[in-house]
Amino acid sequence: MRCYANQLTSELKKGLKPFYLVFGEEPFQEAQCVQQIRDAAKAQGFDEVIKFTLMQGFDWQEIIAQYQSMSLFSARTIIELDLNQQKPGVVGSNTFKKVIELINPDTLLIIKGAKASQEVQRGAWFKALDKHGVFVPCYPLTGSHLKRWLDDQVNRLSLNMQNDAKISLINATEGNLLACFQELEKLSLLHGNALITQQLVMQGLLNQAKFDIFDLSDALLNGHAKQAIKVLNKLASDNTEVVSILWAINKELNTLMSVQLGLLNGEPIANLFKQKAIWKNQQGPVQNAINRLNIQTLEHISSELALFDSSYKQGNLIAPYQALAHICIKFCQPLDIPMPCHALN
């Protein structure tokens, strides 16, 4: 059953389904949807969360084993599988079909992935999971959809915000939901339920730190390694959350891979900019990155990001910011040095 992100709260109130397919190109919205599902499941006694990421050599039998096993710590379990921008393949498809035969009311499966194309949605495994579960597509938001999303966030935070202030915030954050939400949280902390004017929004934006996550994105797209490391050092000194930095890098990578694949399929660059909601002031940096990074290089960086994500969650990274610096340099220039990790047991 298809359920759009803005409908998910209402859908979850009707009761939990055994499977949730959260697919899309908007990582912040995807993360919000997964968190909503987790929260709703936790209220129903699903206290344990087991996470998997699809990587080379992934053992699909682990999914079956965990799905069937009785937890030592919780009566009910959530299994999260991140497909890591990949398709499950034959083995994965067969695994999902097997899981459907073993539907367990005490185990909930959340599958995260890239945009689900029509080809993916026509797959037998997808149809079977969709039949018994919920498919939540997460699209980049523009126009009235972005405005509606902002209104929802304002209501959730109980903000009293003028319409001009909302428009200014949308224009300043240019469709970046994470940046927009972070600004709303700051406004909530600073002003509570007081009236928030356009002047207050712009003043807050102008008072931001000199370096932030979006400066890092610009440096990566333009291939400025020295600037990227300078910004990353500042983020590290400010104790910026590692997952926020990872989100920003992954967002740019997904955009570049999507554009490169479109170009390989013969689509005009102007059409791709429009489809991917790449704003005018970002088209130059994206073009620079596309000229510098071919699809093979982008896929290699994607593998590095997947390794980072898995290693970070498992506690195998020697120094997370050092590993992020390693990935940032690869965005800017070739680097044939493995990422710093503890040896896996």
pLDDT at 319: 86
pLDDT, tens only, 44-74: 999 888 999 888 888 999 999 888 876 555 5
pLDDT at 338: 66
pLDDT, tens only, 228-246: 998 999 888 888 778 778 8
Beta bridge pairs of residue 195: 160
CATH code of the region 213-332: 1.20.272.10
d(CA 83, CA 197): 42
Helix, strand or coil, per DSSP, at residue 341: strand
So what's the architecture of 143-207 in CATH? Orthogonal Bundle (1.10)
d(CA 247, CA 227): 19
Instruction: Assign domain 5-138 to its CATH superfamily.
Output: P-loop containing nucleotide triphosphate hydrolases (3.40.50.300)
What is the pLDDT confidence band of residue 341, given thresholds at 50, 70 and 90? low
By the 8 A CB rule, do 220 and 289 touch? yes
Q: What is the DSSP string of 4-54?
A: -GGGHHHHHHT---SEEEEEES-HHHHHHHHHHHHHHHHTTTEEEEEEEE-
d(CA 130, CA 1): 6
pLDDT, tens only, 285-335: 999 999 999 999 999 999 989 888 888 877 777 788 999 999 999 999 877
Q: Where are the chain's structural domains? A: 5-138, 143-207, 213-332
In 3D space, the residue among 252, 243, 239, 167 whose CA is nearest the CA of residue 201 turns out to be 167
pLDDT at 93: 93
